[in-house]
Structure 1
Amino acid sequence: MIWWAAVPHLLSVVAWILAAPLGRRLPPRSAAILLSVAAVSLAIGTAATLTIVGYIGVGDLLPIGPTDWSAADVRERVPVPLGAGVAAVVVGTFLALRCVVALVDMLRSYRQAVRALEGLTEVSGLTIIEDESQMAYAVPGHGGGRVVVSRGLLRRLSGPQRKALLAHEKAHLRHRHHWYAQVAILSAKANPLLAPLRDATLLAIERWADQEAVTAVGNPAVVAEAIGVSALAMASGPATALGAAQSDVVARVRLLLSPPGPTKRFAPIGVGSLVAGCWASSLAFAGQVYAFIEAIEAAAT
């Protein structure tokens, strides 16, 4: 039964291997949604099993605990060596701190981005910065957020390329892509094995916005050119902002200029299996431990 606790971690290894090919074989919108759900599911599953294993392994060392059962009672039915319990506590605490630090950094970066826009003119959700550096990014917020573009970048782009760039950035805001990105990033902080899943999600988000830009201008070559020009001289924006020149520009341009391939039927099934397997194994492990605790309490009374 203890093997149930290992399943989310083994599935994380599978996700490490399959994240990139799954992301390429799914339509961008489906990939962004499914991969971010898979990332947060695996992060929760691994965190939950680490917590339970850690408590069973070292629960007797805690100064405060339940009065009608002990971790040693559960350990008789769920054999967790002391060393494994200590390791689970150390690793779990370290990963939790990584998540907290990342979340604090996200909030700080967002506040800085919003503060930097205070007092700047906004027209229909667009703010143009009088700066010769090349930058463009989307900042979420009340009222739909803002697209920020520098005057220097606009000068480098043709009229159709500007339209493509703005359509790309507006798609980030309209579809709330920041949520998918932040979920994927935090999930990878909670479980480093999910780093490829994070990268695949971020790439899917950018491809999704690329597709929206193609719909707006009607020509994928124009979108590819706008991405390429932006990437050549793009200055970095706020850490929490999404921009057209982010996330594997070469792969995105190649996909834009290639004819769309058929969606592989196994790709959504593969992602769904990862999510279902993670939740099933985590709940099975937690349920078994809970059943043992209930049995111990009943015997004690």
Structure 2
Amino acid sequence: MRFDVYTPLLLSLLLPLVSPVIGRRVAPALAARVLASAAVLTAAATTWSLALLGAALLGDAPPVVREAREEGHRLADPVPGVIGVVACLALAVAVWRVQRALRAERRTRRALHRVCAGHPADTELIVAASEVPQAFAIPGRPGRILVTSAMLGALTPAERRVLLAHERAHLTHRHGPLVSAVTLAAAANPLLAPVRSAVTFLVERWADEQAAAAVGDRGTTARALARAALTAGRARRACALSFTDRAVTRRIAALQTTPPPHLWSAALAVLALGALPALLAVDATGDLLALLGSALT
């Protein structure tokens, strides 16, 4: 209990350090999945560790102390009271952040579904007459692809196929729930914010690779991405599409090289890094229950 309960908090510092390396050297599909899974496990473990630190204050509760003294038991103090109080405050903040993230997700989802209102259920592609160059996938059942006329007008027919294949990959591989999961993990544990950024980038790289495979031309895919980014860049003065130049440049550079390999050994190491905090939190739970049990029996 004395060490296991703190270790998940310390291990959550390692995942953000390895995520950029995994993102560069492992295939985007595999890297996004393992980083998201590890982030969710780590966030759950660190949140539970905070709960355990707060629960340790139960040993100082007057009824517990009184009963232990009546029975002649000695009460151990595995967690200083100050740390327990700080853990309770941190846990309250984590709960508030997760609730805020959930509300933001629901607002975004409702806004996107309002855009699709009035279109037939079997319509996958929605073209909006707008001078704002924009294209994105709308998760759900059914999933939709929204593209503005300005974006379609800026691309050649081959580049349009790339665009649609990219957005279709987001829907097919359920990138929306994946990003939502890692977003909630980062809300629960702010130390995981770099992992969320890495996964968000990787799902775009994943969709780029899927689009390149669908059209059979990595060069055309890179040109479509570059043209879309330039078009969006001009519109950004009017507060339009939120592309980031650094991410787009990295994605274009990646499409001009061979795809990264599926390094299963590295992926398993990341999963182990995510599973270890969870195992330590389980062990700390057993220690706390045994400690409280020995004081009351």
Fold match (TM-score > 0.5): yes
**Aligned twin of 1:116:** 115
Q: Once the two structures are aligned, what percentage of the paired residues are identical? A: 33
**Aligned twin of 2:90:** 91
**Aligned twin of 1:240:** none
Q: Closer, same or farther in 2 for the Cα pair 1:69/1:36, shift >3 Å?
A: farther
**Aligned twin of 2:14:** 14
Deviations 1:263-288 (A, max 9, x none): 54542132022122112111111111
Q: Closer, same or farther in 2 for the Cα pair 1:74/1:27, shift >3 Å?
A: farther
Q: 2:151 and 2:66 mapped to 1: Cα distance? A: 66
So what's the TM-score if we normalise by structure 2? 0.88
**Aligned twin of 1:239:** none
Match for 2:11: what amino acid?
L
2:224 is the counterpart of 1:231: no
Match for 2:52: what amino acid?
I
CA contact (8 A) 1:228 1:245 kept: no
Deviations 1:35-59 (A, max 9, x none): 1100100100000000110121367
Match for 1:152: what amino acid?
A
Q: 1:294 and 1:37 mapped to 2: Cα distance? A: 34
Which is further off, 263-272 or 282-291?
263-272
CA RMSD of aligned residues (A): 2.8
Match for 1:288: what amino acid?
D
2:164 is the counterpart of 1:171: no
2:253 is the counterpart of 1:254: yes
**Aligned twin of 2:206:** 208
CA contact (8 A) 1:140 1:178 kept: yes
**Aligned twin of 1:28:** 28
**Aligned twin of 2:128:** 129
- What SS does the corresponding residue of 2:194 show, helix, strand or coil? helix
Match for 1:129: what amino acid?
A
2:38 is the counterpart of 1:38: yes
Q: Closer, same or farther in 2 for the Cα pair 1:156/1:188, shift >3 Å?
A: same
Deviations 1:55-105 (A, max 9, x none): 21367569x9999779xx999435211111111111111121011011101
CA contact (8 A) 1:169 1:244 kept: no
- What SS does the corresponding residue of 1:149 show, helix, strand or coil? strand
The correspondence of residues 138-177 of structure 1 with structure 2, limited to 5 A, is 138-143=137-142, 145-177=143-175
Q: Closer, same or farther in 2 for the Cα pair 1:111/1:261, shift >3 Å?
A: closer
Q: 2:82 and 2:204 mapped to 1: Cα distance? A: 43
Match for 1:216: what amino acid?
A
Match for 2:118: what amino acid?
G
Q: 1:197 and 1:125 mapped to 2: Cα distance? A: 31
- What SS does the corresponding residue of 2:293 show, helix, strand or coil? helix
Deviations 1:151-178 (A, max 9, x none): 0100000111100000000111111110
Q: 1:75 and 1:251 mapped to 2: Cα distance? A: 60
> Which runs of 5 or more structure 1 residues have no equivalent in the other structure?
237-242
CA contact (8 A) 1:58 1:86 kept: no
The correspondence of residues 286-301 of structure 1 with structure 2, limited to 5 A, is 286-297=285-296, 299=297
Q: Closer, same or farther in 2 for the Cα pair 1:295/1:255, shift >3 Å?
A: same
**Aligned twin of 1:217:** 215
Q: Closer, same or farther in 2 for the Cα pair 1:285/1:155, shift >3 Å?
A: same
Q: 1:248 and 1:100 mapped to 2: Cα distance? A: 29
Shift of 1:190: 0.7
Q: Which has the higher contact order (CA 8 A, sep 6+)?
A: 2
CA contact (8 A) 2:30 2:262 kept: no
